[in-house]
Amino acid sequence: MALARKIIIDTDPGQDDAFALLFALGSPAELDVVALTTVGGNVPLPLTSRNALQLVELAGRPDVPVFAGCPGPMVKKLKTAEYVHGPTGIDGLEAPDPVTPLQGQHAVNFLVDKIMSEPEGEITVCSLGPMTNLGMAMALEPRIIPRIREVVLMGGGFFQGGNATPAAEFNIYVDPHAAHVVFESGVPLAMASIDSTYTALMTPEWIDTLRAVGTRTAVQAANMADFFRRYGSHKFATEARPIHDACVTGFLLAPHLFQQKQCNVTIELMSPETIGMTLVDWWHVTGRRKNCNVLGRIDADRFFQLMLERLSTLP
């Protein structure tokens, strides 16, 4: 029997981050969640860190350590998204204040130390927010780069444009310079862009089915989903909404559910109109090295069935 894949989840919860975390924590046979590292993104760092602690406690996994990282991007000022996620970042959740403390070590130092101490190719980094922590870790200690098995991220867009600006998806837009470091590093990359996540639409009926599981985690996840689903009604023709970051966990568990294409992807840094754009060389016209596995359409029915099964195992 294969050992569970060791992952570090770098996150800025966010209701969709919450689903990604719970999905992973409900899959211990396949995914060993070594730690969570938090970054300023959807909401400021104190809230993303608090949210991460609440979520590991909700899942009955306070043993998973949480390390707070960078409060803002490498170069730009932080842009947050309370208008999507609510003032807490995980509005809809009804949970007590966390009692589990944050770890004392900075997330960037933890990433360096942990990746250097594990065998080469052992650690996968799952990036669910701005890539500041990982970009800073690579700049601080470049020797971690060949030791990382893979970076699987939610971010970017191409055919769908952006959701933070006409050109840029939120996670990449918040810290394009960190994303540039990661994309140019040579580390194996898989990117769940909004072109992919917009095909994983969470329906009201699925949320009702999740709530009917009746466990604390299932009910609270459904509450968060209800809040999150209210955003974007002007964008989508149905009542279904994408659950972006959960696609990272879904890909790790069931990559066969995703269309995939190896492409060269670069990050636009110069233009004020298109900064943060992920420029995907879909037809390989540049001849540049194909540095990223670009994820496409998802088999949504099987994806949501798998997520329901795994969330149902949590307390």
pLDDT at 231 over 80: no
Section 71-76 average pLDDT: 97
d(CA 79, CA 309): 35
Judge whether residue 145 has pLDDT over 70.
Answer: yes
**pLDDT of amino acid 212:** 98
Contacts of 152 (CB under 8 A, 6+ apart): 124, 125, 126, 127, 189, 190, 192, 248, 251, 252
Q: pLDDT band at 232, cuts 50/70/90? A: low
Percent of the chain with pLDDT over 70: 99
For residue 76, pLDDT beyond 90: yes
Q: What is the pLDDT of residues 298-307, one digit of tens each?
A: 999 999 999 9
Q: What is the pLDDT of residues 196-221, one digit of tens each?
A: 999 999 999 999 999 999 999 999 99
What's residue 233's pLDDT?
Answer: 62
Whether the pLDDT of residue 90 is over 70: the answer is yes
In this structure, of 159-173, 230-244, 247-261, the range with the lowest mean pLDDT score is 230-244
284 counts as catalytic? no
pLDDT surpassing 90 at residue 237: no
pLDDT given for residue 230 in this prediction: 83
Pick the catalytic residue: 85, 106, 234, 244?
244
- Residues 129/172, Cβ–Cβ less than 8 Å: no
- Cα separation of 16 and 93, whole Å? 12
pLDDT of residue 239: 87
Distance from C-alpha of 121 to C-alpha of 129, rounded to nearest angstrom: 22
Average pLDDT of the segment spanning 48-72: 98
pLDDT category of residue 236 using cuts at 50, 70 and 90 = confident
Averaged pLDDT for residues 108-127: 98
pLDDT in tens, 163-201: 999 999 999 999 999 999 999 999 999 999 999 999 999
Residue 2 has what pLDDT?
A: 78
* Average pLDDT taken over every residue of the chain: 96
Q: Which residue has the tokens 């952006």?
A: 162
Q: What is the pLDDT of residue 260?
A: 98
**CB under 8 Å, gap of 24 or more: what pairs does 208-212 form?**
209/308, 210/308, 210/311
* Confidence at 1, pLDDT banded by 50, 70, 90: low
Residue 285 clears pLDDT 90, i.e. is over it: yes
For residue 109, give every residue at least 6 positions away whose Cβ sits within 8 Å of its Cβ, in sequence order, or none: 140
Tell me how far apart the alpha carbons of residues 266 and 128 are, in angstroms, rounded to a whole number.
19
CB atoms within 10 A of CB 92: 20
